[in-house]
């Protein structure tokens, strides 16, 4: 138990009739990145709110230990061990970035000198020195998020909750944020990350749990999850309906997508299989206008697990 940063048993929460979390078990070893993945409304934020002491779990929830402290009996000890960056930026927009940092230093009871040192260091590290004297409300989305995380780090928390840290960020800011998150764990910090982006979980997380309708649909490493579902496919797209129809008649085993005039053939994406498919297409005189190879990714797992029957045509983000 000692090397678990987060151990939660049977997490339950309902709001009125709506069951948001229906018995969720979560364990996160120290010094790892754990990603809770799920569509909007799956209950990710509620899980973070409970684990970070912001809202209380429903009766019937089992033991929850954060950093070795019991959430129910020692919430202040839990609070002292964690740092939280919520979905909506938790900065004080009315004061400057630097004042926000010094406010955190004061609330962590650092001495004036130490507070200034930590604030200056983090502002530097998160590239906010230039903006430090400006009100936080004037910051861009990416800057606010960086300030938000910098504020979270003032108390050197051992466990950090990041609730959708990259939602609404442009691609560059997103990659910066990934960089920041990776740096966090090198110092031995545990990161609990929620995201709706599969590539993000794939990129960052040591372990991933897929949350759907208040339950964990699956959990494991990205590789383990990918193995849960059948492999990839080759996709043939046609522009001429007639060509599509005749190809569809020939390739009976292909999955049809009449709307997009596309056929999907199962394939593991290896060179050998690809060649044999191409040879076969040549021999039957089928000429697709576009051929794409689709290797299994978390999207497939995600849609398979969350019961999305209308699989999107291509990778969503």
By the criterion CB under 8 A, which residues form the site for other proteins? 52-56, 76-77, 79-80, 82, 84, 86, 88-95, 99, 103, 106-109, 135, 148, 151-152, 155
Q: Min. distance of Cβ 85 from other proteins in angstroms?
A: 8
Residue identified by tokens 């230093």 is 105
Q: Min. distance of Cβ 126 from other proteins in angstroms?
A: 16
How far is the C-alpha of 287 from the C-alpha of 88, rounded, in Å?
50
Closer to other proteins at the Cβ: 6 or 305? 6
Q: Min. distance of Cβ 21 from other proteins in angstroms?
A: 14
* 85, 127 contact by CB (below 8 A): no
* 268, 249 contact by CB (below 8 A): no
Closer to other proteins at the Cβ: 19 or 90? 90
Q: Min. distance of Cβ 296 from other proteins in angstroms?
A: 37
CA 20 to mean position of chain CA atoms: 18
Query: Phi and psi of 209, rounded to 5°?
Result: -120, 130
How far is the C-alpha of 317 from the C-alpha of 313, rounded, in Å?
12
Token readout for 296 is 């299994």
* 192, 161 contact by CB (below 8 A): yes
Work out the number of other CB atoms within 10 angstroms of the CB of residue 78: 22
Closer to other proteins at the Cβ: 46 or 212? 46
Closer to other proteins at the Cβ: 144 or 207? 144
Q: Min. distance of Cβ 216 from other proteins in angstroms?
A: 23
Q: Min. distance of Cβ 3 from other proteins in angstroms?
A: 23
Closer to other proteins at the Cβ: 94 or 316? 94
How far is the C-alpha of 57 from the C-alpha of 196, rounded, in Å?
23
| Angle of CA points 109, 112, 116, to nearest 5° | 105
Q: Which alpha helices (H) appear in the chain, and where do they start and end?
A: 44-51, 75-81, 97-107, 112-125, 141-153, 171-186, 198-204, 222-227, 241-250, 271-283, 298-305
Closer to other proteins at the Cβ: 94 or 129? 94
Closer to other proteins at the Cβ: 87 or 246? 87
How far is the C-alpha of 225 from the C-alpha of 206, rounded, in Å?
12
Q: Min. distance of Cβ 98 from other proteins in angstroms?
A: 12
Q: Min. distance of Cβ 83 from other proteins in angstroms?
A: 8
Closer to other proteins at the Cβ: 105 or 298? 105
Enumerate residues 6+ apart whose C-beta is below 8 A from 26. Answer: 6, 7, 8, 11, 34, 36, 47, 51, 209, 216
């Amino acid at each position: 138990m000692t090397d678990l940063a987060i151990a939660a048993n049977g997490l339950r929460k309902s709001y009125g009739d709506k069951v948001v979390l229906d018995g969720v078990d979560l364990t996160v070893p120290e010094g790892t990145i754990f990603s809770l993945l799920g569509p909007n409304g799956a209950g990710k934020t509620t899980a973070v709110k409970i684990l970070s002491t912001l809202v209380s779990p429903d009766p019937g929830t089992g033991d929850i230990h954060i950093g070795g402290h019991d959430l129910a009996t020692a919430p202040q000890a839990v609070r002292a061990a964690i740092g939280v960056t919520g979905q909506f930026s938790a900065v004080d927009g009315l004061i400057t970035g630097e004042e926000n940092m010094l406010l955190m230093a004061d609330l962590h009871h650092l001495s004036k000198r130490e507070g200034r040192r930590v604030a200056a260091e983090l502002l530097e590290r998160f590239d906010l020195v230039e903006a430090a004297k400006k009100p936080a409300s004037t910051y861009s989305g990416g800057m606010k998020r960086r300030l938000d995380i910098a504020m979270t780090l003032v108390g050197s928390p051992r466990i950090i909750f990041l609730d959708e840290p990259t939602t609404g960020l442009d691609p560059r800011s997103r990659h910066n944020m990934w960089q920041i998150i990776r740096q966090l764990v090198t110092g031995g910090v545990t990161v609990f990350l929620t995201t709706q982006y599969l590539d993000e979980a794939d990129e960052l997380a040591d372990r991933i749990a897929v949350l759907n309708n208040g339950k964990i649909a699956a959990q494991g490493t990205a590789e383990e999850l990918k193995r849960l579902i059948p492999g990839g496919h080759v996709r043939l797209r046609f522009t001429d309906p007639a060509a599509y129809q005749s190809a569809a008649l020939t390739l009976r085993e292909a999955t049809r997508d009449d709307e997009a005039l596309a056929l999907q053939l199962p394939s593991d994406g290896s060179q050998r299989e690809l060649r044999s498919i191409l040879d076969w297409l040549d021999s039957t005189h089928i000429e697709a206008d576009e051929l794409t190879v689709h290797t299994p990714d978390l999207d497939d797992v995600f849609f398979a697990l969350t019961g999305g029957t209308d699989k999107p045509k291509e990778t969503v983000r």
